[in-house]
Structure 1
Amino acid sequence: MKLIIALIVFAACLLRSGHAIKCYQCKSLTDANCAKDVIDATSNIHIVDCDMVSKPNTMDQVIPVTKCNKVITSDKAGIIVSRDCHFEVVGQKPDVCTVSHSREVQNCHICKGDLCNASSAGRLMYTGLAALFGMVVMQFVL
Structure 2
Amino acid sequence: MERTSAIAIASLAIFIAASIQPGSALKCYECNSHNDSRCAQEVPPATLEKDCSTHQNEAKKYVLCRKIVQTIEYEVNGLIPDTRVIRSCGWDDTTHKNACYQRSGFGGRQEVCACTTDLCNSSPALFLSSTTILATLALTLKSLL
Both proteins in one fold, TM over 0.5: yes
Between the aligned partners of 1:107 and 1:20, the Cα distance in structure 2 is 26
Does the Cα contact within 8 Å between 2:96 and 2:114 map onto a contact in 1?
no
> Which structure is richer in relative contact order (CA contacts within 8 A, separation 6 or more)?
1
Distance 1:71 1:7, change over 3 A: same
Does the Cα contact within 8 Å between 2:68 and 2:86 map onto a contact in 1?
yes
Does the Cα contact within 8 Å between 1:22 and 1:47 map onto a contact in 2?
yes
Gaps of 5+ in 2: none
Partner of 1:107: 111
Aligned match of 2:122 in 111, 118, 123? Answer: 118
Partner of 1:54: 56
Partner of 1:68: 65
Does the Cα contact within 8 Å between 1:72 and 1:82 map onto a contact in 2?
yes
Between the aligned partners of 2:110 and 2:56, the Cα distance in structure 1 is 25
Q: Post-superposition shift, 1:125?
A: 10
State percent identity of aligned pairs: 27
Larger Rg: 2
Answer yes or no: is 1:34 the counterpart of 2:39.
Answer: yes
Gaps of 5+ in 1: none
Taking the TM superposition and a 5 Å limit, the aligned residue runs for 1:75-114 are 75=72, 76=76, 77=79, 78-88=82-92, 93-95=95-97, 106-114=110-118
Between the aligned partners of 1:103 and 1:20, the Cα distance in structure 2 is 37
Root mean square deviation of aligned Cα: 3.8
2:121 partner SS: helix
Does the Cα contact within 8 Å between 1:68 and 1:84 map onto a contact in 2?
yes
Q: Which TM-score applies when normalising by structure 1?
A: 0.62
Summarize deviations over 1:73-95 as a string: whole Å, max 9, x none. Answer: 34532332110112216xx5543
Q: Post-superposition shift, 1:16?
A: 1.2
Q: Which TM-score applies when normalising by structure 2?
A: 0.61
